[in-house]
């Protein structure tokens, strides 16, 4: 059985446009990304789970497998996710399809999909996620930039606010985690 790193590295070399990180996220990043999921009501969607670092952390926090839906483009990662996490729904689909998978009132979205400097993906993924999210739901996003991966003007356009959860130095490269919520008026 191949390690997560071996599977990740193999897929990164075969599909460099699809696998955007240089290593799987560390357990420390996974803990920061999944803070609060144990208190969420409703289904939880993870987009871009890769080898499942965040999935594992959510299960360790007590989230029932049947509440988790994973959307992953890479077929090899999907195979690994299905094998490692029985009971979790794994969809080999792009995150842009979020409105077509038959879910509503999502409690939160945990995102490993790179959205920095990609306004089209910001709108297609984050915007669509909030279309099917519960009113108090949140969107957690990993980034390697010191700033929120969605600029303030796009946040305002989408009616969102960002809060930095923190920086995790124990990751390659160091990662920041941001949480997006609907702006309250």
DSSP-derived secondary structure for 4-49? HHHHHHHHHHH-TTT--SSSPPPHHHHHHHTTTGGG--S-EEEES-
Enter the tokens of residue 8. 């990740």
Q: What is the distance between the alpha carbons of residues 26 and 81, in angstroms, rounded to a whole number?
A: 17
Question: From CA 45, how far away is CA 139, in angstroms rounded?
Answer: 9
**DSSP states along 82-108:** HHHSTT-EEE-S-GGGGGGSS--SEEE
- β-pairing, 44-47 with 68-71? parallel
pLDDT tens, residue by residue, 52-104: 999 999 999 999 999 999 999 999 999 999 999 999 999 999 999 999 999 99
The SS3 call for residue 127 is helix
d(CA 167, CA 18): 25
pLDDT at 120 over 90: no
Domain ranges of the chain: 25-182
The highest-level CATH class for domain 25-182 is alpha beta
Answer yes or no: is pLDDT of 48 > 60.
Answer: yes
Q: From residue 103, how far is each of 42, 125, 167 by CA, in Å?
A: 10, 14, 31
Q: Of 79, 75, 28, nearest to 54 (Cα)?
A: 28
DSSP state of 140: E
Asked if pLDDT for residue 14 goes beyond 90, the answer is no
Model confidence over 124-160: pLDDT tens digits? 999 999 999 999 999 999 998 899 999 999 999 999 9
């Amino acid at each position: 059985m191949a390690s997560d790193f071996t599977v990740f590295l193999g897929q990164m070399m075969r599909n460099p446009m699809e696998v955007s990180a240089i290593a799987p996220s560390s357990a420390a990043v996974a803990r920061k990304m999944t803070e609060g999921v144990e208190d969420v009501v409703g289904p939880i969607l993870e987009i871009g789970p890769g080898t499942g670092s965040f999935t594992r952390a959510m299960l360790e926090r007590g989230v029932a497998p049947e509440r988790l839906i994973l959307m992953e483009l890479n077929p090899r990662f999907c195979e690994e996710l299905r094998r490692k996490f029985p009971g979790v729904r794994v969809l080999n689909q792009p995150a842009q399809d979020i409105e077509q998978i038959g879910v509503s009132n999502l409690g939160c979205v945990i995102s490993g999909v790179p959205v920095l400097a990609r306004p089209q993906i910001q709108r297609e993924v984050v915007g669509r996620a909030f279309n099917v999210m519960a009113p108090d739901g949140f969107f957690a996003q990993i980034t390697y930039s010191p700033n929120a991966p969605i600029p303030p003007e796009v946040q305002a356009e989408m009616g969102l606010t960002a809060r930095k959860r923190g920086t995790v130095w124990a990751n390659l490269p160091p990662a920041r985690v941001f949480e997006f919520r609907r702006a309250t008026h």
